[in-house]
Amino acid sequence: MLKQFLPNEYVKSIFHITPEDLKDRGIKGIITDLDNTLVEWDRPEATPELIKWFDAMKEAGIAVTIVSNNNEKRVKAFAEPLHIPFIFQARKPMRQAFRKALAIMKLKKEEVVVIGDQLLTDVLGGNLSGFYTILVVPVSKTDGTWTKVNRKIERQIMNFFRKRGKIQWEEEV
C-alpha cells in the first residue's frame, strides 16, 4: 500500500530535470504541479529561470501541462501568459485530471512523467494512474492551509521510506 506513495525519482528542484534526460528515456510530455513545484505557492508568475526551463522543454519537443488542485484564477493567471495548457481544481490524487492532461498532449502514459512536490497528491495520483513520478523538494518552506495538513502525513511516510533506505529528502538530495 505505501509503495503507491514512493516516487520513481526525486530531485532537489525542477531545474535538475533536463530535456536531454527526458528524451533519452523516451519522454515526450510532462504533467507538472504548480504551487511549490514550479514556483512558491504565493508567487503569481514564472521566474525568468523557469521561463528558460519551459522554453528548453518546448525546443526539445517536450509538451508540458500544468495540473493543479488550485482554483482557476490562480492557475490561469500563471499558465496563460506562458501559453501552457492547464487543468485547475484537478482533485489530485484522483485520476481524471491525469487522463485529461494525457489527452491534451495526445501522448501515451509511457511517454509522460508526473512532477510534483507532494506525495499525497502528485506522486500518489501519478502512480495510481501508471505514470513515472518525480518528486521535487518544495520551492517554499511555507504552504497553504490544506497543504500543511498533507505535509504532516507526508513526513511520516517519508520517515518510513528513509528508515528503509528507499528515499532521500531535502538536504540529502
DSSP for 84-96, written as a single string: --EE-S--TTSSH
| Domain range list for the chain | 2-172
CB distance 153 to 142 below 8 Å: no
Q: What is the DSSP letter of 65?
A: E
Please tell us whether the domain made up of 2-172 is placed in CATH 3.40.50.1000. Answer: yes
pLDDT score recorded for residue 156? 85
Please, what sign has the CA dihedral across residues 11, 88, 58, 22?
positive
Which ranges of the chain would DSSP assign to H, the alpha helix?
Answer: 19-24, 48-59, 72-79, 96-105, 124-128, 145-163
How much is the average pLDDT of 15-38? 97
pLDDT digits 0-9 by tens, 34-78: 999 999 988 989 999 999 999 999 999 999 999 999 999 999 999
What's the mean per-residue pLDDT of the chain?
91
> What pTM was computed for the model?
0.89
Grid coordinates representing 61?
519537443
Picking from 14, 2, 53, the residue whose alpha carbon sits closest to that of residue 135 is 14
CB 29 within 8 A of CB 62: yes
Grid coordinates in use for 93? Answer: 490524487
172 pLDDT above the threshold of 70: no
Cα gap 88→74, rounded to integer Å:
8
Cβ neighbours around 60 below 10 Å, total: 14
pLDDT band, very low/low/confident/very high, at 171 (cuts 50, 70, 90): very low
How many helical (H) and strand (E) elements, i.e. helices and strands, does the chain have? 6, 6
